[in-house]
Chains A and B, each alone.
Chain A
Amino acid sequence: MHREINPILIRELRGRMRTPRAFWLLVGFLTAVAGTALLVYTASYLSSNGQSSGNNTVGNTVFFTLIVTAMAILTIMAPVMAAGSIAGERERQTFDLLLTSQLSAGTIIFGKILATLAYCGLLLSAMTPLIAMTFLMGGVDLGELFIMYAIICASVLLFTCCGIYWSTRANTPLTAIGFALATVLGFVFGLPLLAVTIPTIWAQFLNDTAVLDAVANIGLAAHPFIAMYFTDTAIHQQQIWTHVVNIKGVTITLPATWIIGIIESWIISIAFIVAAMRRIWPMRTRS
């Protein structure tokens, strides 16, 4: 049986791509990413006395800059776009019409999520030529590229789902965006802060913080920037798939940070999706 594409996804993409805002966002994104990479490239080039050609370090630095800048922008854009979606339907007074249609809560939520992911995917695709240039400089391999893109995709999914969840809770897009940004930025800035401060405090009472360090590392894996940093380091140590921790003399091999991070992001994303679906299910809400 012919299965149609999610109508919400089609409508969202159609609506989004027809406005000049989509074009200007793309231009802004590429300008920011390319501009930052150009600055870093210039600085690296000058610091290496013009020996950039064939210098692996410069290529890797520019690549890492592009990836981190893109991630930083998407960390803001994904939750903002997602947070405006359901709350926007409420504000436009079109949400009741969706709820009284034959669409399930899942179709509505997934349509909104996919629409945000599709636009973020477009932005990432648009920076492919910039990424390709770093391959010319050397120091980057395809495996690293795929891993970094996997981390970005998992994090964008997580932040989008967070935005969608707040969108189902708020009545106006502005409120939803505020809560979504507070949650995401709290996660991005708060998690490292906790990871640094808690072991330090802990160390005042217990001599051995190895377990806590291991737990903190696993907890931090969902943090995109930390996962990227760990992954970059691990790749240069030829530890792509696993990493080793030593707890009280016992060596334990764990999956690589990026793998743990992606799994964690998926789990939290699923939790956000389930919570969002429960919020909009008509016969459960607003009683």
Chain B
Amino acid sequence: MIVFDKLRKLYGDFCALDGLDCTIPTGATVGLIGPNGAGKTTSMRLLTTLITPTSGDVSIDGISVTAQPHLVRRMIGYMPDTFGVYEAMTAAEYLDFYARCYHIPVATRPALINDLLGLVDLQTKRDALVMSLSRGMAQRLSLARALLHDPQVLVLDEPASGLDPRARIELRALLHELHDQGKTILISSHILSDLADLCTHLIILEQGKLVAYDTLTALLSAQQSRRIVIQTLAPTPALYALVTHFNYTISVDPQLPTHYIVQMNGDDAAQAQLLKACIEHNIPVQQFSSEANTLERTFLQVTAGLN
């Protein structure tokens, strides 16, 4: 369990993180989202003991990053947004070097490196120079490095940044596998569709402040309005009057005489009620669909206030 306890970080007069306060359950995959400068990387750097908080604390299973940073470092695997490269080093040597840095016994090291290269599907690149790896391969190797000491918590800063679609899909599959293994994963990304696929929980930050934190399902269902697309076989003026006077309607956008987009409050029952009313008024409905609530829309709604 990761506990952010009124965590605050100032850089001079600039407040990068302002009282982050939330608890992440063990085994959760948590997406950290927000506009640039929202405090995502600062939160991660605080958790990984790279910087000290101005006030507040963050702890993993009760171990504070400020009081016992050396213990916290054993519990976290950190993957920064950039892949640092050492020249003249093969992929296996790269992992071997970091395995030494984590004091992994020499007897278990070769097997561990083989297993990790297998996990990230880089066995064929074992003796390839790290510098020669593609961006996707480098990211997977970086993830393997973060897993060397079998950490409970993975902190991944923009892992999908700059990856091509195939590499993104492969990385996503890998993260699903790690989630299934029970790892707690904290991941920041601007690719919200990836996060929607991966995450169990979401933290939304803006200007250093926590604006939302909940499970993904709860956040999506808490969305205040939905968009209904109604298409008719022929122009039907009665439809406009009907939806305009419908109780839950916020706005109506008649894009074509046969095509309306209705912004409405209310739940699934309200949506069913609108469809029923259309049928009762003999409106020749050809299509009636609700646009799925997306993380993008939730994000836009939640963060709209501060920017």
Contact = CB atoms under 8 A, between A and B. Distances in A.
A14 B88 contact: yes
A100 B84 contact: no
Given A96-B80, A97-B78, A102-B74, A11 B49 contact: no
Nearest to B89: A15
A103 B86 CA distance: 18
Contacts of B52: 283-284, 287
A20 B76 CA distance: 37
A121 interface: no
Central interface residue in B49, B66, B101, by most chain A CB within 10 Å: B101
Given A96-B50, A287-B54, A14 B89 contact: yes
Contacts of A102: 70, 73-74, 101-103, 149
Contact of B101 (A7, A15, A92, A96): A7
B50 A282 contact: yes
Given A102-B73, A102-B74, A284-B52, A93 B100 contact: no
A15 B129 CA distance: 12
Contacts of B49: 99-100, 282-283
Interface string B84-105: 1111110001000110111100
Interface residues of A, number: 27
Contacts of B50: 96, 99-100, 282, 286
A95 B78 CA distance: 12
The size bracket of the interface on B is: 20 to 34
A94 interface: yes
Nearest to A16: B88
Contacts of A100: 48-50, 73, 76, 78
Contacts, number: 79
Interface string A98-141: 11111100000000000000000000000000000000000000
B218 interface: no
Contacts of A94: 84-86
A4 B105 CA distance: 9
Interface in A1-47: 2, 4, 7, 10-11, 14-15, 18-19
A19 B86 contact: no
B82 interface: yes
A11 B87 CA distance: 10
A222 B99 CA distance: 40
Given A14-B88, A92-B85, A287-B54, A101 B98 contact: yes
B108 to A, nearest CB: 13
29 contacts: A2-B106, A4-B100, A4-B106, A7-B100, A10-B97, A10-B100, A14-B88, A14-B93, A15-B87, A89-B84, A93-B84, A94-B84, A95-B84, A96-B84, A97-B80, A100-B73, A101-B98, A101-B102, A102-B74, A102-B101, A102-B102, A103-B101, A282-B50, A282-B51, A283-B52, A283-B69, A287-B51, A287-B52, A287-B54
Nearest 6 A/B pairs, CB to CB: A94-B84, A7-B100, A101-B101, A18-B88, A93-B84, A93-B82
Interface of B: 48-52, 54, 66, 69-70, 73-74, 76, 78, 80, 82-89, 93, 97-98, 100-103, 106, 145, 149
